[in-house]
Structure 1
Amino acid sequence: METHPSYTALNSLVSKYPGAAGCLFQTYNDIFYAQNWQDVTVVELEDCKRGAVRGRRPNTTQTLNVVPCGIHELVSFEWLRHAFEALDNPEDIHLAITSDDASLVYYKISRGIVKPPV
């Protein structure tokens, strides 16, 4: 991981939260290199003990927040509340659920009950 180009952007959070380092590394690389998001930054979520990724999809203006977590991690309502608060209470966040086989699935999580778009 230390020799990968993305390590420079992730170094401080990878060393501070080693338990979430793999999830952050996998999510950041997918968003930055595979999906080519713009204005990608890493944000610390101290209460969740991890980093999150913030940026924009190509050709869009909306900033999205992505919180990486492992498939075997427990995600509680309190954990999600802390994530929303640390990200300045956006309308929604995306969970990037990673697994050991390099699978990555994104779920959109909104505050409260939200009617899905038709």
Structure 2
Amino acid sequence: MEIHPSYPVLASLVEKYPAYRGSLFQTYNDILLAQQWRDVGVLDLGDVCRRGAIQGRRPKTAANADALLHIVPCSLAESISLAWINDVFVALGDPPSIYLAVASDDSSIVYYKLSSGIVKPSV
């Protein structure tokens, strides 16, 4: 991991939260390299959430490409709670939604869009 070109961007968060380094590394590289998001950066969610998050914008060809989106990586093996998810929303400044990136050991990632409160689904 340390020799990968993306490591310098992630180094401080990987060292601060070593238990979550794999999911952060895997998700960051998927968003940046495979999905080719723009303005990709990382954020420290602090000691309450104990991990880093990713923010960025979808490629110009995507719908709502200018919206700044937040992705919170976690592992498939983790147990997360509604209280923790609420803490994530607070740490990110209460955005309307976040993406929870659930990374597995086989390098697959599933993204779940979580909205704050009750949101009517789009038709």
- TM-score class, shorter: over 0.9
Asked if 1:27 corresponds to 2:27, the answer is: yes
Asked if 1:100 corresponds to 2:101, the answer is: no
Gapped regions of structure 1 (runs ≥ 5)? none
Amino acid at match of 1:37: W
Which runs of structure 2 are paired with 1:104-115 in the superposition (5 Å)? Answer: 104-115=109-120
| Cα RMSD for the two superposed structures | 0.6
| Matching residue of 2:11 | 11
Q: Deviations over 1:23-64 (max 9, x none)?
A: 000000000011110000100011111100000001110010
TM-score by length of 1: 0.98
Gapped regions of structure 2 (runs ≥ 5)? none
| Matching residue of 1:79 | 84
How many pairs does the alignment contain? 118
Structure 1 runs (4+) greater than 3 angstroms displaced: none
TM-score by length of 2: 0.94
| Matching residue of 2:42 | 42
Identity of aligned residues (%): 56
Q: Deviations over 1:57-116 (max 9, x none)?
A: 011100100000001111111111111011111000000000001010000000111111
